Amino acid sequence: MTKRILVLGGDGFIGKHMVSALAASGWAMPVAAGRRARAAAPGTERIQLDATDAAALKRALDGVDGVVDCIAGGAMVDVARNLFSSGIDVPVVHLSSMAVYGSAVGLVTEDAPLKADTGPYAQAKAEAEKLAAAYPRAVILRPGCVYGPGSTQWSLRIARLLRARRIGDLGAGGDGCSNLVHVSDVAAAALAGLRLPAAQGRAYNLAMDGAPSWNDYFLDFARALGAVPIVRLSEKRMTLESKLVAAPLKILEILAGKAGLARLIPPPIPPSLVRTWRHEIRLSPARAEAELGIVWRDLAAGLAETAAWINSVAA
């Protein structure tokens, strides 16, 4: 019997991959929930839902065998509150983030404290996670930087910056660990989390074993994109980018976004991003490997696939 799995945030980058991975598994019938009315993809169901509306969410939960919560952005805490206080009794995979570890450095296992001391995003993620942790059947996933086809943050934006030679070899500024994880590995982890009762009540880091430094990621990705040779950029230059150039670009991006032209604006490099690239934190992949049976997608293959996607978007 196929299980009905509700995917909250089903229109998002990870949500979309989640829905198609569930459909492909043969084990589940995904029910994609999104704010906008849309047609269901073949082999999936589709509902229009504003999950911040507790009553509406409750109705949507009726008759499902599991939930994947891929809500990102401003609504995530509200949705988590609604979801976990709805009285359900099915497995829920909750997508958290490595941001909950905040400024921690070194090798970080799932038992590390949730410092969440790097700003409002980290705080919100930690708050949502706390709500999830109070629900005994929640499986918490803490992905690092999710890349792959569809990733605007860690693939498309990086590709645009690499092509513009605005990033490359950042020296000490790119020594941080990328904690990359392919989006298909995130989907596989969620699927395993739904299926394995032992995963309930546990949290899992998701970052590939031996994830490259940002510098190495930029070089490998630039090679896949044909954007080589990469250039060495000074710390001064990156400071200039993040302190002076980023804010005006962000404003332009928002204005252009209103006109549907955001793609024309070069991506800003905010100070938080510059800090991320230096941040020497490495998520331990061991638990996800051992308990969820994840075999990380090979980086070269993942980057080749991503580069092909980027070329198709650009065309």
Partner 1 sequence: MILDVQDLPDGFSLDADICIVGAGPVGISLALTLATGGRRVLLLEGGGPAPEPDSQALYRGQVDAAGLHPSPDHYRERRYGGSSTIWGGRSMPYDSIDFETRPYVPHSGWPIDLAALSPFYGEAVRLCEAGRDAFTIETAFDTPRRPMIEGFDGEHFTTNTLERFSCPTDFGHRYRHKLEAAEGLQVVLHANVTDIRRSETGSEVTGLTVRSLAGRQGQVSAGRVILALGGLETARLLLASRIGERLDAVGRYYMCHIAGTIGSLKFTGPRDSVWNGYDVADDGSYCRRRFALRPEVQRRLGIGNFVARLHHPRIPDPRHRNGILSALYLARPIIPYEYGKRLYGDEAGGLGRWLAHAVNVATDLPATLGFLIHMLRDRRLAERKYPSIVIRSKSNSFSLDFHAEQVPDPDSRVVLTDEVDALGMPRLKADWRYGRADVETVSRSLALLAGDIERSGTGRFDYDPASVESEMTRYGAYGGHHIGTARMGSDPASSVVDADCRVHGIDNLYVAGSAVFPTSSQANPTLTAVAMALRLADHLKGSQP
Interacting positions 157-176 with partner 1 (CB under 8 A): 168-169, 171-172, 175
Judged by phi (left if over 0) then psi (alpha if -120 to 50, else beta), residue 102 lies in left
Q: Give me the least distance between CB of 215 and partner 1, in Å please.
A: 9
For the CA atoms of 282, 235, 122, 256, the dihedral, rounded to the nearest 10 degrees, stands at -130
How many Å apart are CA 132 and CA 190, to the nearest integer?
15
Query: Cβ distance 230 to 219 under 8 Å?
Result: yes
C-beta closer to partner 1: residue 219 or 294 = 219
Pairing type for strands 203-206 and 138-143 reads parallel
Question: What angle is formed at CA 178 by the lines to CA 177 and CA 182, rounded to 5 degrees?
Answer: 140
- For residue 260, give the DSSP letter: T
C-beta closer to partner 1: residue 95 or 303 = 303
Which position among 230, 274, 292, 310 is part of the footprint of partner 1 (CB under 8 A)?
Answer: 230
Q: Give me the least distance between CB of 281 and partner 1, in Å please.
A: 11
Which position among 70, 161, 207, 219 is part of the footprint of partner 1 (CB under 8 A)?
Answer: 219
Q: Which two tokens stand for residue 226?
A: 């044909």
How many Å apart are CA 299 and CA 302, to the nearest integer?
5
Which position among 51, 79, 222, 274 is part of the footprint of partner 1 (CB under 8 A)?
Answer: 222
Q: Give me the least distance between CB of 161 and partner 1, in Å please.
A: 15
Q: Give me the least distance between CB of 230 and partner 1, in Å please.
A: 5
Q: Give me the least distance between CB of 143 and partner 1, in Å please.
A: 24
Residues that bind partner 1 (CB under 8 A): 105-106, 168-169, 171-172, 175, 219, 222-223, 228-234, 237, 278, 280
